[in-house]
Amino acid sequence: MTDDRRARAPEPCADAVDPGLQSERTYLSWQRTGLSLAGIGALLAHDALGRHRPLLAGGLLTALAGLLLTARAQRRYRATVAAVRAGRSPTDQRAVAVTAALTTVLCLVGLAAILFS
């Protein structure tokens, strides 16, 4: 991915426009969040195998969403770099909203799983 980016942006001091490596840190933050989500999905699926059969689908879906989010982090990174270079705001309201909604639903599923165990 890095090579891909270099090929498109050959200027040697490209990183100088990004002091503090903000885009990289945001990328890694998205990646960590995606991986955490995948981990929770695995935990839910594990719980489902033991006691709550209906949770299995939810757990697997969550794991899938986590992996999608992790994969998307790279695209988001490239979009951020492009937006910064073009002087546009890199804000992505929809991604934030979807992530917040997903986490809230997941918390409610977890609450239900505990209450009905």
Of the candidates 75, 1, 62, the one whose C-alpha atom is nearest the C-alpha of residue 34 is 62
Residue among 56 and 72 whose Cβ is closer to other proteins: 72
| Interface residues toward other proteins, by CB under 8 A | 19-20, 22-23, 25-26, 29-30, 32-33, 36-37, 39-40, 43-44, 46-47, 50, 68, 72, 75, 78-80, 82-84, 86-101, 103-104, 106-108, 110-111, 113-115, 117
Residue among 11 and 108 whose Cβ is closer to other proteins: 108
Between the alpha carbon of residue 73 and those of residues 14, 43, 49, 63, 66, the distances in Å are 20, 22, 30, 15, 11
3-state secondary structure (DSSP) of residue 99: helix
Residue among 13 and 100 whose Cβ is closer to other proteins: 100
The minimum distance between CB 11 and other proteins, in angstroms, equals 18
The minimum distance between CB 10 and other proteins, in angstroms, equals 18
In the chain, the N- to C-terminal Cα span, in Å, equals 45
Whole-angstrom Cα distance, residue 97 to residue 115? Answer: 27
Residue among 16 and 115 whose Cβ is closer to other proteins: 115
CA 30 to chain CA centroid, nearest Å = 4
